[in-house]
Chain A
């Protein structure tokens, strides 16, 4: 349980500016919308009610962390001040909160729905909303709007809606997606072009939004685990690891060292799997199809290892509250060692066919440059952040599992271009192999899963747990009211900041660079949409 400081909405902006400028809290880790219900008679003094927000902040210099919350009791016209001008990532996160809770952010420049259709009625994550009542299955296509609403606060305190045009009729707007080979899923970019040069990009999300956060509120804790693998399917292990750790932390369950070892090895295998796929897909996006098959040839071997121990290949369902689902297969250790030996032998082929290629280097070097300030402000963690010189590896910042016991380097590049992002991943492949090698021979004996109660009830409180997933920080924010079901379970998406930052990275570049940037940023769409 962590302390979350309550701040009145009227004092929020000053406090946030103070935190940003004086306490140097430059990284808005997570922004979570909440519905704490209406005030009741038997509320203990100090109970926070209403529609609100929880902010998790971190300073990238001191690694000091703070969480604050705010709320408003007005359910008809809930208005809270925006922080989108303080942290850029808040802009898209506040759109998400507006979409789900209907909270209007005063000063926000783009108050559109983000995941749901524009003609959606109601705000589904409010506790008193019945999404099925007013929203029949719509048989017509959603119209794309070219207008957005800016909520302006004038000097006398009144609020005024201002219309903003996203794309005017004169612009040559091309859709990249939702069905497009290079978006790696059902994501859509509306790209305004001037010849081949990109003027502006507007990402349109929500094509595979499944409402996982809403579903979680009616699932028991063991059931919620099943959905984490379906977020970022290339970080399935890490995602589930994060949720398990969050619940274990909340309940005070100590898991065995054997389970810790297994979880760490599995996380790193998953990272290898993801980075190999990253290499393959990036190469394919740039037209080097042969390299794609090299990566898939080797990734297949990791999936085989997963299959032998866990039964699944993509949706693995391995971590459990208290440990892991099943003990490792007797062949596991030998196969992992064989695989690492094999991969060390063939990794030079990857560099021969793609990294060293002059065309590949010209396509990536100096393309889509992101400054360190931008990646921090947008919260673009993982390889993207580290390529711009930001030490953002959760495994180093807040070590968990076995990561404080193993030696590994945090890969940092400072160029911030596509090539740096690519090289971060290629170097991390080597580091992941190092980590696995340090652990694989020393897996201690012991139980792989500690006994938990048949019905899991998490004590009341708010908990946040982050892991380093394959493409950045994946966080779980859990608010429990002591029931079998979570009151609110929010996932800090790794991909949402990455989709958001595409516009910054691509302006003024060629349309072919959008594909390079998209490939090197490495977003996975089910994780953005949740």
Chain B
């Protein structure tokens, strides 16, 4: 298994040998920031293309097929279009909040994105309460959405934002509790620790029943958190035209759009990291030969394969189900999902106490 920290350590030692450490760290930070932004943009493009194709095939259509072979440049064309469009400000909008909102959303998305360990030794933000940081950073996004709805001075936007606020705050509880279930089992809050724990079997196998329940509840809650169907009420097209981003155009809209797709990826990647082992290859305790073969596949391939598998699950759900209504959405969370998550957490704790897991 290739350890990416060899590369990072080599870069760090080379840089410190020619310049003071402060400068070295600064340069490394810049390189990493550029790397995150590039990866973020590329992933968004891949996800949008994937969504269009997957959705097309679900709907007996071909999806984009004109720009480039199989329409693979369609999204690039769309991004170019979006970059050249005018960004306008509605007359009676609260200019400061209106312009601030997309940045809050995208910053929250970037911060969360930075927590994801892509390969062994290739995590950008990794510390002992990484899970807490992820939950905290992802909650900044809802602030952006609320500001967008309020600042736009549009009734549709405001209703969309209010719905979004109620929805995200509610479902964060379930998402958090589901992750806590995994934390109880692994005994650590750092992502690298959680992945190390899965070296001899992914958590969904090791934690069996409660882990599977937690995985499913996390997918539901995560789906709701990133405002995707069947939980896309904040932007419910047939009710609120576009919800909180009705009044946005150009790249400001683009930020919401990018953040939506990347949030979906982040949800999928977190699910993959916590429950499906992240970059950890498929290891079965005791079968050393098999494990060695699996180790030949690089970690980031495992990581992206798992994340995109979960993304596909999310797309499958989105393109199959109708939309919920706000009261159904909230009663589902508070009456069913959250009690289930709490009971599940208790079950997992009992299992850990009595050593019933693998």
- Residues of chain A having any CB pair with chain B under 8 Å: 172, 174-175, 180-182, 193, 196, 283-290, 292-294, 297, 353-354, 357, 359-360, 362-363, 510-515
Chain A neighbourhood of B326, CB < 8 A? 196, 510, 512
Bound-state CA distance A283–B321 (Å) is: 10
Given A289-B319, A357-B322, A515-B238, A172:B327 Cβ within 8 A: no
Bound-state CA distance A257–B54 (Å) is: 51
Evaluate contact between A363 and B239: CB separation under 8 angstroms: no
The 6 closest A-B pairs by CB, nearest first: A287-B323, A293-B59, A288-B322, A286-B322, A182-B238, A285-B238
Q: Is B243 an interface residue (CB 8 A)?
A: no
Residues of chain B from 236 to 268 with CB closer than 8 A to chain A in the complex: 236-239, 241
Chain B neighbourhood of A514, CB < 8 A? 239
Given A174-B159, A290-B59, A510:B238 Cβ within 8 A: no
Evaluate contact between A511 and B319: CB separation under 8 angstroms: no
Evaluate contact between A297 and B236: CB separation under 8 angstroms: no
- Chain B 35-58, CB within 8 Å of chain A: the 1/0 string? 000000000000000000001001
Closest B residue to A196 by beta carbon equals B326
A and B contact pairs by CB, cutoff 8 A, 30 listed: A174-B155, A174-B159, A175-B155, A181-B241, A182-B238, A182-B239, A193-B159, A196-B159, A196-B163, A287-B229, A287-B230, A287-B232, A287-B237, A287-B323, A288-B322, A289-B55, A289-B319, A353-B320, A359-B230, A359-B322, A359-B323, A360-B322, A362-B324, A362-B325, A363-B322, A510-B325, A512-B233, A512-B239, A515-B238, A515-B239
Q: Is B113 an interface residue (CB 8 A)?
A: no
- Chain B 327-350, CB within 8 Å of chain A: the 1/0 string? 110000000000000000000000
Q: Is B215 an interface residue (CB 8 A)?
A: no
Bound-state CA distance A353–B58 (Å) is: 11
Q: Which of B232, B323, B324, B327 counts the most chain A CB atoms within 10 A? A: B323
Chain B neighbourhood of A512, CB < 8 A? 233, 236, 239, 323, 325-326
Evaluate contact between B325 and A513: CB separation under 8 angstroms: yes
Given known contacts A196-B163, A363-B323, what 6 new A-B pairs fall within 8 Å (CB)?
A196-B159, A285-B238, A294-B59, A294-B60, A362-B325, A363-B328
Evaluate contact between B324 and A359: CB separation under 8 angstroms: yes
Given A182-B239, A287-B230, A512-B236, A363:B60 Cβ within 8 A: no
Evaluate contact between A174 and B156: CB separation under 8 angstroms: yes
Closest B residue to A173 by beta carbon equals B155
Closest A residue to B233 by beta carbon equals A512
Bound-state CA distance A181–B323 (Å) is: 15
Chain A neighbourhood of B325, CB < 8 A? 362-363, 510, 512-513
Q: Is B81 an interface residue (CB 8 A)?
A: no
Chain B neighbourhood of A181, CB < 8 A? 237-238, 241
Given A362-B328, A512-B236, A287:B322 Cβ within 8 A: yes
Bound-state CA distance A288–B230 (Å) is: 8
Evaluate contact between A290 and B323: CB separation under 8 angstroms: no
Bound-state CA distance A285–B355 (Å) is: 50
For B239, give its contact among A297, A353, A511 (CB under 8 Å). Answer: A511
Evaluate contact between B322 and A354: CB separation under 8 angstroms: yes
- Write the nearest CB–CB distance from B162 to chain A, whole angstroms: 8
- Write the nearest CB–CB distance from B207 to chain A, whole angstroms: 28
Chain B neighbourhood of A363, CB < 8 A? 322-325, 328
Chain B neighbourhood of A284, CB < 8 A? 238
Chain A neighbourhood of B60, CB < 8 A? 293-294, 297
Chain B neighbourhood of A175, CB < 8 A? 155
- Write the nearest CB–CB distance from A359 to chain B, whole angstroms: 5
Chain A neighbourhood of B320, CB < 8 A? 288, 290, 353
For A357, give its contact among B237, B321, B328 (CB under 8 Å). Answer: B321
Chain B interface size, as a band, is: 20 to 34
Chain A neighbourhood of B59, CB < 8 A? 289-290, 292-294
Chain B neighbourhood of A290, CB < 8 A? 58-59, 319-320
Bound-state CA distance A285–B233 (Å) is: 12
Evaluate contact between B238 and A287: CB separation under 8 angstroms: yes
Chain B neighbourhood of A289, CB < 8 A? 55, 59, 319
For A286, give its contact among B61, B155, B159, B323 (CB under 8 Å). Answer: B323
Residues of chain B from 187 to 232 with CB closer than 8 A to chain A in the complex: 229-230, 232
Chain A neighbourhood of B156, CB < 8 A? 174
Bound-state CA distance A362–B324 (Å) is: 8
Chain B neighbourhood of A193, CB < 8 A? 159
Bound-state CA distance A514–B322 (Å) is: 16
Closest A residue to B324 by beta carbon equals A359
Closest A residue to B229 by beta carbon equals A287
- Chain B 58-94, CB within 8 Å of chain A: the 1/0 string? 1111000000000000000000000000000000000
- Write the nearest CB–CB distance from B128 to chain A, whole angstroms: 41
Chain B neighbourhood of A196, CB < 8 A? 159, 163, 326-327
- Write the nearest CB–CB distance from B101 to chain A, whole angstroms: 21
For A283, give its contact among B55, B155, B237, B322 (CB under 8 Å). Answer: B322
Chain A neighbourhood of B319, CB < 8 A? 289-290
Closest A residue to B163 by beta carbon equals A196
Bound-state CA distance A293–B59 (Å) is: 6
Closest B residue to A364 by beta carbon equals B322
- Write the nearest CB–CB distance from B8 to chain A, whole angstroms: 44
Chain A neighbourhood of B324, CB < 8 A? 359, 362-363
- Write the nearest CB–CB distance from B23 to chain A, whole angstroms: 53
- Write the nearest CB–CB distance from B211 to chain A, whole angstroms: 25
Given A181-B238, A510-B327, A359:B159 Cβ within 8 A: no
- Write the nearest CB–CB distance from A318 to chain B, whole angstroms: 29
Bound-state CA distance A297–B230 (Å) is: 23
Closest B residue to A511 by beta carbon equals B239
Bound-state CA distance A180–B60 (Å) is: 26
- Write the nearest CB–CB distance from B217 to chain A, whole angstroms: 17
Bound-state CA distance A69–B324 (Å) is: 50
Bound-state CA distance A415–B13 (Å) is: 76
- Write the nearest CB–CB distance from A509 to chain B, whole angstroms: 9
- Write the nearest CB–CB distance from B243 to chain A, whole angstroms: 12
Chain A neighbourhood of B58, CB < 8 A? 290
- Write the nearest CB–CB distance from B65 to chain A, whole angstroms: 16
- Chain B 135-178, CB within 8 Å of chain A: the 1/0 string? 00000000000000000000110010001000000000000000
Chain A neighbourhood of B237, CB < 8 A? 181, 287
Bound-state CA distance A70–B230 (Å) is: 55
Bound-state CA distance A283–B319 (Å) is: 12
Bound-state CA distance A172–B241 (Å) is: 18
Chain A neighbourhood of B230, CB < 8 A? 287, 359
Chain B neighbourhood of A510, CB < 8 A? 325-327
Bound-state CA distance A510–B156 (Å) is: 14
Closest A residue to B319 by beta carbon equals A290
Chain B neighbourhood of A515, CB < 8 A? 238-239
Chain A neighbourhood of B239, CB < 8 A? 182, 511-512, 514-515
- Write the nearest CB–CB distance from B61 to chain A, whole angstroms: 6
Q: Which of B233, B238, B320, B323 counts the most chain A CB atoms within 10 A? A: B238
- Write the nearest CB–CB distance from B228 to chain A, whole angstroms: 11
Bound-state CA distance A512–B322 (Å) is: 12
Q: Which of A175, A181, A297 counts the most chain B CB atoms within 10 A? A: A181
- Write the nearest CB–CB distance from A210 to chain B, whole angstroms: 26
- Write the nearest CB–CB distance from B240 to chain A, whole angstroms: 8
- Write the nearest CB–CB distance from A179 to chain B, whole angstroms: 9
- Write the nearest CB–CB distance from B246 to chain A, whole angstroms: 11
Bound-state CA distance A251–B352 (Å) is: 89
- Write the nearest CB–CB distance from A201 to chain B, whole angstroms: 14
